[in-house]
């Protein structure tokens, strides 16, 4: 099978995942296991853990760029694979938290509230947009299509980095309001 045929095959999977993941997350976000009658302990300890995972993802992404600029393709690949794993772990913990714990409302007022909302909204929108970008970038590297990989990576990297960093910022801004 040619690289182009493989890419077409994987693009169908990427499109499906890019639709399914946000829909499942949105759906599970609205599911509260307690309200469904399950006797679950709220996972209130998770927000600092998944915020730390976001911070780690940001550091790993920067390290991956440094590695490729130094010509270390193997380390670059390993770091990006690790960053994808971090993002998946974040997602699992985030869903677990929201399925067992009531959402926390931001308590700030005035100008800071608008800053928080802006950061949160851009974080959420870009976290959806980044899914196909990361998967396409990863697929092109795995298929050895490095010119196209490099081209899309120039967009994927800053957006993914923004999502990781703003995830930490959102946590820091809302953390005083956790109960």
Query: Percent of the chain, pLDDT > 70?
Result: 100
Inform me whether the pLDDT recorded for 2 exceeds 90. no
Cα–Cα dist 104/121, whole Å: 16
3-state secondary structure (DSSP) of residue 31: coil
User: What is the reported pLDDT for 7?
Assistant: 86
Cα–Cα dist 160/62, whole Å: 11
Q: Structure tokens of 100?
A: 């067992």
User: What is the reported pLDDT for 102?
Assistant: 84
User: What is the reported pLDDT for 40?
Assistant: 87
Contact 28, 99 (CB under 8 A): yes
Cα–Cα dist 121/106, whole Å: 13
Residues 116-136: tens digit of each pLDDT: 999 999 999 999 999 999 999
Inform me whether the pLDDT recorded for 4 exceeds 80. no
Question: Hey, what long-range contacts does 138-142 have (CB within 8 A, 24 or more apart)?
Answer: 138/80, 138/81, 138/84, 139/7, 139/10, 139/11, 139/14, 140/7, 141/77, 141/80
Q: What is the mean pLDDT of the chain?
A: 93
Of 2 and 173, the one with more pLDDT: 173
pTM of the model: 0.92
User: What is the reported pLDDT for 54?
Assistant: 97
Query: Percent of the chain, pLDDT > 90?
Result: 80
Residues 42-95: tens digit of each pLDDT: 899 999 999 999 999 999 999 999 999 999 999 999 999 999 999 999 999 999
Contact 135, 17 (CB under 8 A): yes
CA distances in angstroms from 10 to 19, 58, 101, 146, listed in the order given: 14, 26, 36, 16
User: What is the reported pLDDT for 162?
Assistant: 98
- Helix (H) / strand (E) element for 170: namely helix 146-174
Per CATH, the architecture of 3-177 is what?
Answer: Up-down Bundle (1.20)
User: What is the reported pLDDT for 81?
Assistant: 97
Domain boundaries, the chain: 3-177
User: What is the band of 18 on the pLDDT scale with cuts at 50, 70, 90?
Assistant: very high
User: What is the reported pLDDT for 6?
Assistant: 86
Among residues 117, 140, 130, the alpha carbon closest in space to that of 90 is found at 130
Inform me whether the pLDDT recorded for 179 exceeds 80. no
3-state secondary structure (DSSP) of residue 154: helix
Inform me whether the pLDDT recorded for 109 exceeds 80. yes
């Amino acid at each position: 099978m040619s690289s182009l045929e493989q890419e077409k095959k994987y693009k169908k999977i990427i499109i499906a995942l890019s639709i399914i993941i946000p829909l499942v997350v949105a759906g599970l976000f609205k599911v509260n296991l307690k309200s469904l009658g399950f006797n679950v302990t709220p996972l209130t300890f998770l927000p600092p853990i998944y915020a730390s995972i976001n911070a780690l993802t940001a550091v790993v992404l920067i390290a991956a760029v440094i590695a490729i600029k130094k010509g270390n393709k193997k380390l670059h690949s390993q770091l990006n694979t690790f960053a994808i794993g971090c993002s998946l772990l974040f997602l699992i913990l985030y869903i677990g938290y929201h399925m067992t714990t009531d959402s926390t409302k931001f308590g700030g007022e005035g100008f800071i509230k608008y800053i928080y909302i802006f950061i949160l909204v851009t974080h959420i929108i870009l976290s959806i947009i980044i899914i196909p970008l990361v998967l396409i970038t990863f697929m092109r590297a795995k298929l050895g299509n490095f010119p196209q990989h490099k081209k899309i990576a120039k967009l994927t990297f800053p957006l993914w980095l923004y999502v990781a960093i703003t995830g930490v910022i959102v946590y820091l801004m809302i953390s005083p309001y956790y109960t």
